[in-house]
Amino acid sequence: MKYSEFLQQDHFDLESLLAFAYGNMIEDPPDDFDARLPTPPFLMMDRILSIKKNGKRGKIIAEQDIRLDAWYFQCHFSGDPVQPGCLCVDAIWQLIGFYCVWCGALGAGRALGCEEVVFNGQIRPHNKVARYEIDILRFQDMKASGTSVVIGDGNVFIDNEHIATVKRARAGVFKNITYKDYPAKSVNSVGGTSRE
């Protein structure tokens, strides 16, 4: 798909999301287009049903099919399998980071935090579909610094039951932070606080 088509697309299937994760969805990526989603098994969505923007605000609705043999059910916990709640939060970060890139941000995405997470349910192996609904509260592209930030409120549903709320989740897209020559030691091979 051409970059101009990507910026206009209002939904994405699993094939498209996988292509994005592996870095080969965009045929003509602009300079500094380093964004990726995590690859399976850490990709926390199977499809984006709807992605919309309205000025600095927007909305995303996505789904994840729950698999009986998902990796996390094998280890969390033995005899009491449950999807870790932090993976629901990560799904929200993955989606708002994708939103940031879909809005034209260039660079690589990183989670930046959230203000509040509340769980009132759980995801078990025989559930069917998790749905993520995110209201984008603000998208800001600070072109001069090469940074873009998005903030959103997310709700998680399992088989249409509301089980979690993530308030003011934040993700950003930053230029010149990727570690493309892994595992060699290089300028971006060590983490820590963000460098200017």
Is residue 193's pLDDT more than 80?
no
Alpha helices in 41-173 (DSSP H): 85-102
**Residue 143's pLDDT is what?**
78
- Whole-number percent of the chain with pLDDT over 90: 93
Q: Are 90 and 156 in contact (CB under 8 A)?
A: no
**Residue 195: pLDDT band with limits 50, 70, 90:** low
- Mean pLDDT for the stretch of residues 131-155: 94
Distance, in Å, from the CA atom of 62 to the CA atom of 30, rounded to the nearest integer, reads 26
**Residue 192: pLDDT band with limits 50, 70, 90:** confident
Tokens of 108: 């690589």
Quote the DSSP letter at residue 90.
H
Active site residues: 76
> What are the sequence ranges of the domains in the chain?
3-174
- Mean pLDDT for the stretch of residues 34-38: 97
User: What are the tens digits of pLDDT across the range 97-142?
Assistant: 999 999 999 999 999 999 999 999 999 999 999 999 999 999 999 8
Distance, in Å, from the CA atom of 139 to the CA atom of 55, rounded to the nearest integer, reads 8
| Residue in 124, 137, 172, 131 with CA at minimum distance from that of residue 155 | 131
| Residue in 20, 16, 38 with CA at minimum distance from that of residue 29 | 20
State residue 28 phi and psi, 5-degree precision. -130, 60
Q: Are 108 and 132 in contact (CB under 8 A)?
A: no
Domain 3-174 has CATH 3.10.129.10: yes
